[in-house]
């Protein structure tokens, strides 16, 4: 029986195995197990990769959003605008600061923040507004030109959630360099993934990055002296060593994802499937390859029975999840957000996905359509 996972961080580890194993031994031999040279070197290399001045390595992507917002003075009494169609970590991080998240609708093509809905929401909460957290979902950049214009017009900060978009760009300017700060996750399934949790905050503002560095280590400005309330969120040097290796191949691996996406697009263009949309001025990195399809659950079961795993990102928008249902603030009706959750499907997508496996996925989906189409 074939086994094609929807994503496969273990395959990514194997493709770098010798280098990663040597890097881990190097860290163990160094005797430095918290922060240290591996972390500072990764920070410099990742800053150069995305094209910003400063990066602070932290413990997770959730912490990265939290710390970025805190560095801007955002907390109790602040309002932060984001989307409901995202990993719950985006909203959880905002709430950890004490701020109130206001959820706005998404565009029906890119699934990213709808800028018209954003501006309408800002007008409704103008007295309390503080920041915007756009999410570059699935690897397609949000409309940062419009978002930054709106932020400037209303005097708001912008923290980009880049957890799914390592290496993506708009007009050849990488995501993570548009806002006042940006947050990255290096969870193992990401395009740039560690062997565990890790994250980073990026900015061109030295003052803000220095504040992040204080906040991430108990608010210390001098060791054991907390000048402000902080947390413990330090990047593990083993994770930094792994990320340094993987970073050297990130552009190449993103290209492989795009090749797989192009093959899918060509094959599925004749079917009644809504394919991923890519704006002309952006570089997509296909963290996920997400389609919309009728009878989604039937197709998913059909593929599963044939050893092909798929995902749903995400089965419920944040505002409808049990922990948030009825208590979180949404602006207007999130009609596009709510409409897509019943028919989106993430097909297998990772840089080590072979052409044979891509062909298998296509062949089985074609087979399903051939057998079921007459009933639709």
User: What's residue 263's pLDDT?
Assistant: 98
Is residue 374 scored above 80 in pLDDT?
no
User: What's residue 376's pLDDT?
Assistant: 43
User: What's residue 131's pLDDT?
Assistant: 97
User: What's residue 325's pLDDT?
Assistant: 86
Closest CA to 351 of 257, 225, 260: 257
Fold of the CATH domain 9-247:
3.40.640
Burial class (CB in 10 A: 0-12, 13-18, 19+), 140: buried
How many angstroms separate the Cα of 230 from the Cα of each of 101, 107, 234?
A: 21, 36, 12
> What are the extents of the domains in the chain?
9-247, 250-375
How many angstroms separate the Cα of 231 from the Cα of each of 54, 58, 147?
A: 20, 11, 30
Main-chain dihedrals φ then ψ at residue 218, nearest 5 degrees:
65, 15
- pLDDT category at 209 given cuts 50, 70, 90 is very high
Average pLDDT over residues 51-56: 98
- Does domain 250-375 fall under CATH 3.90.1150.10? My reply is yes
Is residue 132 scored above 80 in pLDDT?
yes
Average pLDDT over residues 15-26: 91
For residue 326, count other CB atoms closer than 10 A to its CB.
Answer: 7
Which residue has tokens 């996750």?
A: 185
pLDDT tens readout for residues 98-114: 999 999 999 999 999 99
pLDDT tens readout for residues 243-264: 999 999 999 999 999 999 999 9
- H/E element, 154: helix 144-154
Burial class (CB in 10 A: 0-12, 13-18, 19+), 8: buried
> Is residue 121 within 8 Å of 104, Cβ to Cβ?
yes
List CB contacts of 359: < 8 A, sequence separation 6 or more. none
pLDDT tens readout for residues 275-294: 999 999 999 999 999 999 99
Q: Residue 114 has what DSSP assignment?
A: P
Average confidence score pLDDT of the chain: 95
> How many Å apart are CA 268 and CA 290, to the nearest integer?
12
> How many Å apart are CA 8 and CA 43, to the nearest integer?
25
List CB contacts of 310: < 8 A, sequence separation 6 or more. 6, 300, 303, 304, 345, 346, 347, 348
Tell me the Ramachandran region of residue 250: left when phi exceeds 0, alpha when psi lies from -120 to 50, beta otherwise.
Answer: alpha
- pLDDT category at 373 given cuts 50, 70, 90 is low
Which parts of 249-288 are beta strand (E)?
A: 273-274, 282-283
> How many Å apart are CA 133 and CA 144, to the nearest integer?
11
pLDDT tens readout for residues 354-363: 999 999 999 9
Helices (H) and strands (E) in the chain, counts: 13, 16
């Amino acid at each position: 029986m074939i086994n094609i996972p929807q994503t496969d961080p273990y395959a990514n580890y194997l493709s770098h195995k010798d280098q990663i194993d040597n890097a881990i031994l190097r860290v163990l031999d160094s005797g430095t197990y918290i922060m240290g040279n591996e972390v500072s070197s990764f920070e410099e290399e990742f800053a150069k990769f995305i094209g910003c001045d400063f990066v602070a390595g932290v413990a997770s992507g959730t912490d990265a959003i939290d710390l970025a917002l805190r560095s801007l003075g955002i907390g109790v009494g602040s309002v932060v605008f984001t989307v409901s169609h995202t990993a719950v970590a985006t909203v959880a991080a905002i709430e950890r600061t004490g701020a109130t998240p206001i959820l706005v609708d998404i565009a029906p093509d890119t699934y990213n923040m709808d800028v018209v809905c954003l501006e309408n929401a800002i007008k409704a909460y103008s007295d309390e507004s503080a920041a915007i957290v756009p999410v570059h979902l699935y690897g397609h950049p949000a409309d940062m030109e419009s978002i930054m214009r709106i932020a400037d017009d209303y005097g708001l900060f912008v923290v980009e959630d880049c957890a799914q978009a390592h290496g993506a760009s708009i007009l050849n300017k990488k995501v993570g360099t548009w806002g006042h700060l940006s947050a990255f996750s290096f969870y193992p399934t990401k395009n740039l993934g560690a062997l565990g949790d890790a994250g980073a905050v990026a900015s061109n503002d030295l003052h803000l990055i220095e504040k992040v560095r204080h906040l991430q280590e108990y608010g210390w400005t001098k060791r054991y002296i907390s000048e402000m309330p902080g947390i413990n969120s330090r990047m593990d040097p083993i994770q930094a060593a792994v990320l340094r290796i993987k970073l050297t191949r990130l552009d190449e691996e993103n290209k492989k994802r795009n090749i797989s996406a192009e093959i899918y697009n060509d094959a599925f263009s004749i079917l009644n499937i809504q394919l991923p949309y890519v704006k002309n001025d952006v570089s997509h990195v296909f963290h996920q390859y997400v389609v919309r399809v009728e009878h989604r659950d039937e197709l998913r079961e059909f593929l599963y029975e044939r050893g092909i795993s798929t995902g749903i990102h995400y089965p419920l928008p944040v505002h409808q999840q049990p922990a948030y249902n009825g208590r979180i603030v949404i602006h207007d009706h999130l009609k596009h957000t709510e409409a897509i959750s019943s028919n989106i499907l993430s097909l297998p997508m990772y840089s080590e996905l072979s052409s044979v496996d891509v062909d298998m996925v296509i062949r089985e989906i074609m087979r399903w359509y051939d057998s079921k189409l007459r009933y639709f």
